[in-house]
Amino acid sequence: MQLLPGFRDLFPDDCARRNYILSRWRETALRYGFVEYDGPVLESTELYRKKSGGEIVGQLFDFKDKGEREVAMRPEMTPTLARMVIARERDFRKPLKWFSVSQFFRYEKQQRGRLREFYQLNCDIIGEASLAADAEIVALVIDALRAFGFTAHDFVVRISDRDAWLSFLQAKGVDAGGGQFLQIIDKLERETEEATARKLGEFGLNLGEVREFIAEPGVHFERFNQLAADLDARGMAGFYRLDPTIVRGLAYYTGLVFEVFDRKGKLRALAGGGRYDNLLRDMSDGAVNLPALGFGMGDVVLGELIADTPAAVEKWERWRQSAAEIYVVIAKEDRRSDAIRAVQEMRENGLRVDYPLAPAKVGKQFQNAEQLGARFAVLFGDEWPAVKIKTLATRQETTLPREELLGRIQRLAP
């Protein structure tokens, strides 16, 4: 009865951490005026074979369903989003700014930062060709990380432009196989020099000229420079840099692409994205021709970076402590029904309240309150018909008539 490799049991602490990540993501996307959507977990395998391309196709959790359909658990959101937009594009004003927070499945080799099941925040803008949209998306990826307490010392967005590489190829007189060439560049950091040199040889190119282009990208990255000006105006100058080696593994990208990494370079990518201006057109045989761009950010590497960054841990701890705000301590069992009435009253007024289901020593109840991270204890005991409020962090106590409890606690724990 063992857990499958690459899958996670989320015990309450893990679940709280997962929920923290998901709620910060939602908050940030909403702040940028994005609206939430979702799609099915299962799609026809065809969708990914044709549209994602690259490594992902070999990592599908795919099978035949009982109706003999070839289906796959979703490994990413972008093809689903494109399918949905094509189906009802006319119903929405452009540009669409849509986000989703959902679970994905890839049959990858389990390693640090890579599991077979993970969550992603996906944010995409559809129907806007101008660079303003690229800047908005990169700013959003930066703020989605700043929401966790990270600064420019913790992560960096590495930005590139696929078209710059395609013009490099053109300048070298190579006019076919752009996609295959980009795959070589995508694997540059992961493959041996010999293997890379051999593959480049098939295009009549050598590693030297590729390295030269990376070192002196010059005029080919004009679009990057314009994007940089927009980001700088937002005060985001330290958060990104040009990196021609980023070309992205998925087949549908066109134009600007980016990946986000931790500054120490210890972890795998936190997020990745870019433009995919032709995907909707290709998927709809030309019927819907809308430019598009976006990114996906995963929860696994992000969780590791949080654990590694003291400021982010502190922020998470503060969030967690707001979970159980009030613990009602029943110091005298004959006050239990008065206590429960007060619990109910506070809950109905939106407060988070817990109390002991069975009789227990007062000391034990306080221990419980602290373990749950409660901020206040409310005592029902000898003081009756008054009650006592204790602020757990400062040990400060106030005794007040029972009727004043709700008003006072609402002011203390808004």
385-391's contacts with Cβ under 8 Å and 24+ in sequence apart are 387/342
Site string for ligand HAM, 301-340 (x = CB under 6 A): x---------------------------------------
Token code pair at residue 231: 């980001």
Token code pair at residue 29: 């996307």
Looking at residue 187, its amino acid is K
**Stretch 6-35 residues interacting with ligand HAM (CB under 6 A):** none
> H/E/C letters for each residue in 116-182?
CEEEEEEEEEECCCCHHHHHHHHHHHHHHHHCCCCCCCCEEEEEEEHHHHHHHHHHCCCCCCHHHHH
Q: Which is nearer to ligand HAM, 34 or 327 (CB)?
A: 34
Shortest distance (Å) from residue 34 CB to ligand HAM: 12
Q: Which is nearer to ligand HAM, 51 or 335 (CB)?
A: 51
> H/E/C letters for each residue in 358-405?
CCCCHHHHHHHHHHCCCCEEEEECCCCCEEEEEECCCCEEEEEEHHHH
For residue 329, list its beta bridge partners: 379
Q: Which stretch binds ligand HAM (CB under 6 A): 11-19, 76-84, 94-102, 362-370?
A: 76-84
| Cβ-contact 278, 108 below 8 angstroms | no
279 contacts ligand HAM (rule: CB under 6 A): no
- Tell me which of 21, 71, 72, 77 binds ligand HAM, using CB under 6 A: 77
> Does 385 sit behind a cis peptide bond, omega within 30 degrees of 0 on the bond before it?
yes
274 contact partners, CB below 8 Å, separation of at least 6? 162, 248, 253, 254, 255, 256, 257, 258, 293, 295
Q: How many residues bind ligand HAM (CB under 6 A)?
A: 23
78 contacts ligand HAM (rule: CB under 6 A): yes
Q: Which is nearer to ligand HAM, 106 or 375 (CB)?
A: 106
82 contacts ligand HAM (rule: CB under 6 A): no
Task: Please give the backbone phi and psi of residue 107, each rounded to the nearest 5 degrees, phi first.
Answer: -85, 75
Q: Which stretch binds ligand HAM (CB under 6 A): 38-46, 151-159, 230-238, 297-305?
A: 297-305
Determine the Cα–Cα distance for residues 270 and 141; give it in Å rounded to an integer.
10
| Beta strands 70-73 and 271-275, pairing class | unpaired
Q: Which is nearer to ligand HAM, 244 or 343 (CB)?
A: 244
| Cβ-contact 280, 294 below 8 angstroms | no
Shortest distance (Å) from residue 305 CB to ligand HAM: 10
Q: Which stretch binds ligand HAM (CB under 6 A): 117-125, 173-181, 369-377, 395-403?
A: 117-125
| Cβ-contact 118, 110 below 8 angstroms | no
Q: Which stretch binds ligand HAM (CB under 6 A): 153-161, 204-212, 268-276, 343-351?
A: 268-276
187 contacts ligand HAM (rule: CB under 6 A): no
272 contacts ligand HAM (rule: CB under 6 A): yes
- Tell me which of 298, 377, 387, 388 binds ligand HAM, using CB under 6 A: 298
Determine the Cα–Cα distance for residues 144 and 19; give it in Å rounded to an integer.
15
144 contacts ligand HAM (rule: CB under 6 A): no
Q: Which stretch binds ligand HAM (CB under 6 A): 115-123, 204-212, 310-318, 394-402?
A: 115-123
**Stretch 122-141 residues interacting with ligand HAM (CB under 6 A):** 122, 124
271 contacts ligand HAM (rule: CB under 6 A): yes
Instruction: Give me the residues that bind ligand HAM (CB under 6 A), please.
Output: 76-78, 106, 108, 114-115, 118, 120, 122, 124, 269-273, 294-298, 300-301
